[in-house]
Chains A and B, each alone.
Chain A
Amino acid sequence: MRIGILMTPSFSSRRSPLMPAVLALLRQWGASVEVIYPEDRCTHLGALKVEHDLYVLRSETELGLSVAGALHAIGAQCLNPWPAASLMRDKIAALRRLLAAGVPMPETYVVCTPQRLARLLEDGPVMVRPFRRSRGRGARLFWDGDDLDAAGEGPCIAQRYHAPDAADGCERKIYCIGGQLFGVLRRAPARTASEKAGEPFSITPELRRIALACGEAFGVELFGLDIIFSSGRPYVVDVHSFPGFKGVPDAPLRLADYIYAAAQRVLAGESVARAIAANTPLKVTPATPVEAVPA
Chain B
Amino acid sequence: MKALIFGPGRIGCGFVGQVLRKAGYELTFAGRGTVVDNLARVRAYRVRLTDGNHARDEQYDVTSVRAVQTSDVAGVRAAAAEADLIAVSVCPDNLHVIAKVLAAALLSRTSPVDVIAFENCTDPGGSLREAVLLCAPELASKGHGFSSALVSRIVTGRQGEPSKNAPLVFLGDRASTFVVDGTTLRNPLPPIEGMRVVDNFRAWAMKKLYTFGAGHAATAYLGALKGYRYVHSAIRDPEIRAAVLAAMEEGRQGLLRRYGLELAGTHAELHEILARFDNAALNDPVTRVGRDPLRKLRPDDRLVGAARLAQEAGVSPSRLAMAAGAALCFVCALDRAACPAPAATVRTVAELDPIRGLGRAVLEAFAQLVQGREDDNVLLSLEGHVWSWSRRDAAELGKA
Contact = CB atoms under 8 A, between A and B. Distances in A.
Interface of A: 25, 28-30, 165, 167-168, 172, 178-183, 185, 200-208, 229, 232, 249-250, 253-254, 256-258, 260-261, 264
Nearest to A261: B229
B389 A202 contact: yes
Interface centre among A178, A183, A250, A264 (most CB of B within 10 A): A250
Contact of A180 (B281, B376, B381): B376
22 contacts: A28-B280, A167-B399, A168-B398, A172-B400, A183-B389, A202-B388, A202-B397, A203-B400, A205-B389, A208-B389, A229-B399, A232-B399, A250-B237, A250-B238, A253-B236, A254-B228, A257-B229, A257-B230, A257-B233, A258-B229, A261-B229, A264-B283
A30 B281 contact: yes
Interface of B: 52, 54, 227-230, 232-233, 236-238, 280-281, 283, 372, 376, 378, 380-381, 386-392, 394, 397-400
B227 A202 contact: no
A207 B398 CA distance: 14
A202 B400 contact: yes
Contact of A204 (B228, B229, B280, B400): B400
A257 B228 contact: yes
Contacts of A167: 399
A96 to B, nearest CB: 27
A204 B389 contact: yes
Q: Is the interface of B mostly helix, strand, loop or mixed?
A: loop
Nearest to A204: B394
A25 B236 contact: yes
A206 B394 contact: yes
A185 B233 contact: no
B164 to A, nearest CB: 14
Contacts of B391: 205
Contacts of A254: 227-228
B280 A30 contact: yes
B229 A202 contact: no
A181 B388 contact: yes
Nearest to B50: A30
Interface centre among A181, A229, A249 (most CB of B within 10 A): A249
A205 B396 CA distance: 13
Given A204-B389, A257-B233, A261-B230, 20 more contacts: A29-B52, A30-B280, A167-B399, A180-B376, A182-B378, A183-B400, A201-B398, A203-B390, A205-B389, A205-B391, A206-B394, A207-B389, A229-B399, A250-B238, A253-B228, A253-B237, A257-B229, A258-B229, A260-B280, A264-B283
A95 to B, nearest CB: 24
B276 to A, nearest CB: 14
Contact of B388 (A165, A182, A229, A250): A182
Contacts of A207: 389, 400
Contact of B233 (A205, A232, A253): A253
Contact of A203 (B229, B381, B388): B388
B311 to A, nearest CB: 32
Contacts of A205: 389, 391
Interface centre among A202, A206, A207, A249 (most CB of B within 10 A): A202
A253 B233 CA distance: 7
A193 to B, nearest CB: 19
Nearest to B52: A30
A204 B52 contact: no
A165 B398 CA distance: 12
Contacts of A232: 399
Given A25-B236, A167-B399, A253-B237, A203 B389 contact: yes
Nearest to B226: A250
Nearest to A248: B380
Contacts of B229: 178, 257-258, 260-261
Interface centre among B54, B232, B388 (most CB of A within 10 A): B388
A202 B387 contact: yes
Interface centre among A167, A181, A204, A253 (most CB of B within 10 A): A204
A30 B386 contact: no
A99 to B, nearest CB: 23
Contacts of B372: 202
A165 B389 contact: no
Given A168-B399, A202-B397, A204-B400, A181 B389 contact: yes
A249 B378 CA distance: 11
Given A30-B281, A168-B398, A249-B381, A204 B232 contact: no
A176 B383 CA distance: 23
| Cβ-closest 7 pairs across A and B | A29-B280, A202-B390, A257-B233, A203-B389, A201-B400, A261-B229, A208-B389
Contacts of B52: 29-30
A135 B397 CA distance: 26
Contacts of A28: 280
A29 B232 contact: yes
A264 to B, nearest CB: 7
Nearest to A206: B394
B399 A180 contact: no
Contacts of B378: 180-182
Contact of B380 (A178, A200, A261): A200
Interface centre among B52, B227, B391, B398 (most CB of A within 10 A): B227
Contacts of A264: 283
A249 B387 CA distance: 11
A171 to B, nearest CB: 12
B233 to A, nearest CB: 4
Contacts of A30: 52, 54, 280-281
A229 B398 CA distance: 12
Contacts of A168: 398-399
Contacts of A260: 229-230, 233, 280
